[in-house]
Structure formats: structure tokens, C-alpha cells
Amino acid sequence: MVKVGLVGDDTDQTALLAAALSAEVSVAEGTPPPDCDVIVVHASADPTRRVGELAALAPVMVLGPDCEESLLAAVDAGATSYLPDSAPLAEIAQAVQATAKGVAVVPPLMLGALLRREIERRRRLGAAQEALDTLTPREREVLAHAARGANRREIAETLYISPDTVRTHLQRIMAKLDVHSAAELAALATGLGLEEP
Amino acid sequence: MKPSDRPRRVDEVTERREGSMVTVYHPLTGRAHALNPTAYAIWELCDGETLVEEMAAAVAGLAGLAPEEALGQVTRTLADLADARLITF
């Protein structure tokens, strides 16, 4: 039987969902057990808040508002599946089982929005790949270390340069790649596969 | 149809959602067409700017299909939409 970790901010709603799902799957409320097959995040306020952290443990299915913005936010945060929390329980149960197998489930009529997001992501990566050619060899080195999670001081020590020089390199890299934050730079570098040694 | 084509939805078409299906109506042909979710998603992408190959790459990425398989599916769907005069190239 599929083991489900159920996380939610509304105790009554979460208990109701757990009871409804328990006929078909094994449900643990609260902190997801380490051996769970899928984690269901059911939260009315900010359903994507913990998704990134939970997605490292198991595939995550988010139950949230019935709107494309929430779907895209959940997927961007690392969710495998997304359903409106108003979906019929039988549909939710089916989606939970599919998500446990790694199959993505989204509302059918939101598929276009998801494809549009994927196309835009690929366009950004394509543009960044072209911009990579404008980086100097040193800037590429700095970017590769940053992509692996090294901070400014660590990069400076590794490359035998000052932290201020690293900062200058990072500022130039961000300008060339048209990104505006360290998090955005890290995500882009990961998308380009630069975190590999 | 080429991968570098940029299909565009016909402006006059109106749509109506019913459950997970969409019915589109073309006033010039006087015909209504039921689109399944995949066909509707592809139809939504026909903005005159998005390349057929971009649609196929996105479908391949999300559905875990081989690129040539995704291109075949997208091309067939677009051909059906074009036959129904719902899109132009």
C-alpha cells in the first residue's frame, strides 16, 4: 500500500482528507515519515512554502487553489503534481497513487499553462547558453563554483583571488546572463548543468 | 508542416469549457469541435510566435517522451487543428 505523508496548515481539513484517503492509502499526518512514497501538501495559505524542502524526501503533490498561478508556483517549487483542493476525493486518491510512482498529474485544462512555462524556461536557458559564450574563462570558473553552492569567500580561497574580485566577477556574470539575484543565478547555472564538477 | 513553423489560432473561434473538455466553435465554417486536454493545450500555444519544435520539446520534457515521438504527436494534433481551420500557418 502506498505510504502518504500528509502536510497541511488546517488541522480539520487535513484530518478530513486523511480519513478520506485512508481507505486506499496509508496516511501519516504531520512530519512525513522517511519511507513515505508521496507527500501531499494541503495548505490554503501558501501551499508552495515547504514544497522545495519536502520534494527532496519524496514526490510532492500540492492541493491548492484552482488557478494557473498556484499550479505554476507549485511546479516551480518542485511539486510533481497539483490538483485544486476542490477536486473530488476519488480523483485526489488516484492522483496520489500516480504521483507516488513519479507520474505528474495536473488539471487537464491547465496543461497549456504548464507547456507555456516549459517553453519559456527553455528559451531562457537557450539565451543563457548563448550568453555563456561571452563569459571570460575566469568568469566561467567563478560561475561553476557558485553553481556548486560555494560562497564568495570559498570561491576566493579556491581561486586564490580576493572576495572583492569574486564579487566583481559575479556582478559581471549576472549582468551578462541577465539575472538579478544569487538564487536566480544558481537556478540558471543548475539548468545549464554547470554545477557538475 | 515544418518544425520551424509558427502556427496561429484563428481569431474568430470561440471556446466553451465543460469539465475537462473544451468545445471550440468556428463561425465561418459553422462547425463545433471537441478538443481533448492535449489538443486544447497545443491550440493554446498557437500564438503565431511559438515554433512547432518548441511545442514538441516542451511536450517531450513534461511527458518524458522521446523528441521525435513528441514531434510526431504535436504535428498530428496541429494537422487536425489545421484541417478544422482552427489554426493557420
pLDDT in tens, A122-138: 998 888 888 888 999 99
- Average pLDDT across chain B, whole number: 92
- Average pLDDT across chain A, whole number: 86
- The pLDDT value given to residue A181: 86
Residue A196 scores a pLDDT above 60: no
Average pLDDT over residues B61-67: 87
- The pLDDT value given to residue A124: 87
**How many C-beta atoms lie closer than 10 Å to residue B51's C-beta?**
16
How confident is the model over B21-62, as pLDDT tens digits? 899 999 988 999 999 988 999 999 999 999 999 999 999 988
Instruction: Measure in Å the smallest separation between the Cα of B43 and chain A Cα atoms.
Output: 8
| Residue B2, burial from CB neighbour count under 10 angstroms (0-12, 13-18, 19+) | exposed
- The pLDDT value given to residue B64: 81
The larger pLDDT score, comparing residue A149 to residue A81, is at A81
- The pLDDT value given to residue B55: 97
Torsions phi, psi of A135, nearest 5? -75, 145
How would you label A143-163 residue by residue, b for 16+ Cβ within 10 Å and e otherwise? bbbbbbebebeebbeebebee
Inter-chain residue contact B55 with A115, CB threshold 8 Å: yes
Identify the closest residue of chain A to B51 by CA–CA distance: A119
Nearest to A122 among B22, B40, B58 (CB): B58
Residue B2 scores a pLDDT above 70: yes
- The pLDDT value given to residue A13: 74
Q: Closest Cα partner for A161 from A171, A149, A153?
A: A153
Kindly provide the ipTM of the predicted complex, given to two decimals.
0.91
Read off the pLDDT band of A25 (50, 70, 90): confident
- The pLDDT value given to residue B58: 94
The larger pLDDT score, comparing residue A43 to residue B38, is at B38
C-alpha to C-alpha distance for A8 and A105, rounded to whole angstroms: 19
Instruction: Name the percent of chain A lying above pLDDT 70.
Output: 96
The larger pLDDT score, comparing residue B50 to residue A34, is at B50
Task: Of A24-33, A98-107, A182-191, B50-59, give the lowest mean pLDDT range.
Answer: A24-33
Q: Which residues of B touch A116 (CB under 8 A)?
A: 44-45
Q: How many CB pairs under 8 A join A and B?
A: 46
- Secondary structure of residue A28 in the 3-state scheme: strand
Amino acid at A69: E
Nearest to B37 among A111, A116, A118 (CB): A111
- The pLDDT value given to residue A21: 80
Identify the closest residue of chain A to B42 by CA–CA distance: A112
- The pLDDT value given to residue A197: 54
**Residue A175 contacts B, CB cutoff 8 Å:** no
- The pLDDT value given to residue A45: 64
